[in-house]
Amino acid sequence: MTAKATELKLDIERIGTVSATLMQPANARACYVLAHGAGADMRHSFMEKVAAGLADRGIATFRFNFPYMENKQGRPDQPAVAHATIRAAVEEAARLCPGVTLVAGGKSFGGRMTSQAQAKTPLPGVKGLAFLGFPLHADKKPSTERAEHLAQVEIPMLFLQGTRDKLADLGLIKPVVAALGAKATLHEVEGGDHSFAVLKKSGRTNDEALTEVLDTLTAWIDQLA
């Protein structure tokens, strides 16, 4: 399925303007507002592969930079700035892709900022949140405090987690997701790290692991519709 990528500018009220990209296949049936992780921008190869893979599956993506990344500042934005950026992105995605199923979330930090924003005030029109590696805790610092806000999220959530993810101990994320009840789904990517990369000895490639992620995400989005 051919998809055209449109380079855009996203205006965030009282904060400024950041770069954004809409990857839209013909007759897209959904749009995923895809926020980047803490250490790499919307053009990182992982983000590009996810957008291209979803486009092949008939799903549009709206990617954007957070202001700190746009302005090449080292530290991630304060949550209030990140939340405002996500709200602006959701609004713009809804305007550009009217009438399709709208989901939000993203990679690591981007997914967590999206769920925080949703927990504070629901994102208009968003039917579900999908996390590509929810960062439950810092490396070697197991804890579940970062998940406390998820109880305030009322829409379906999909957690795609690698079993080797050092930012989400499986023994911790499993009970976190279970406690959220029927609205939350956990999909474990066997042998995947925080970016779903697998070891050579696993017998499969990184591309095969990512295909599993994208197929699972697509099926979940279709269920929402």
pLDDT the model gives residue 86: 98
Confidence (pLDDT) at 157: 98
Closest by CA position to 36, among listed 132, 173, 137: 132
Per-chain mean pLDDT for the chain? 97
Predicted confidence (pLDDT) at residue 77 exceeds the cutoff of 90 = yes
User: Helices 206-224 and 45-56 sit at what angle, rounded to 10 degrees?
Assistant: 50
Q: What percent of the chain has pLDDT over 70?
A: 100
Flag whether pLDDT at 2 surpasses 80. no
What pLDDT is recorded for position 74?
85
Query: Using an 8 Å Cβ cutoff, are 33 and 86 in contact?
Result: yes
- What does the pLDDT average to over 61-86? 97
Would you state the structure tokens that stand for residue 166, as one six-digit string? 């050092």
CA Rg, the chain, in Å?
16
Mean pLDDT value across residues 35-54: 97
SS3 category, 136: coil
Give per-residue pLDDT as tens, 201-214.
999 999 999 999 99
Predicted pLDDT at 102:
98
On whether the pTM is more than 0.75, the answer is yes
From residue 131, how far is each of 125, 141, 145, 176, 223 by CA, in Å? 18, 20, 17, 14, 16
8 A C-beta contact, residue 153 and residue 121: no
Integer angstrom CA distances of residue 83 from 135, 205, 215: 17, 35, 28
Q: Does residue 108 contact residue 37 with C-beta atoms inside 8 Å? A: yes
Q: How far is it, in rounded angstroms, from Cα 107 to Cα 76?
A: 14
The sheet with strand 16-25 has its strands ordered as 3-12, 16-25, 59-64, 30-35, 101-107, 126-132, 157-162, 184-189
Overall average pLDDT of the 62-89 stretch: 97
What is the average per-residue pLDDT within 68-77? Answer: 95
Average pLDDT of the segment spanning 15-41: 97
The owner of tokens 């199923």 is 101
Please tell me the predicted confidence (pLDDT) of residue 225. Answer: 81
Q: What is the pLDDT of residue 4?
A: 86
CATH superfamily of this structure's domain 3-224 = Alpha/Beta hydrolase fold, catalytic domain (3.40.50.1820)
Question: In the predicted model, is pLDDT for residue 116 greater than 90?
Answer: yes
pLDDT, tens digit (0-9, with 9 covering 90-100), for 79-95: 999 999 999 999 999 99
pLDDT tier at 1 (50, 70, 90 boundaries)? Answer: low
Query: Residue length, the chain?
Result: 225
For residues 161 and 108, what is the distance between their CA atoms, to the nearest angstrom? 10
Residue 81 CA to residue 155 CA, distance in Å, equals 23
Residue with the two structure tokens 């699972």: 216
pLDDT over 70 at 50, yes or no: yes
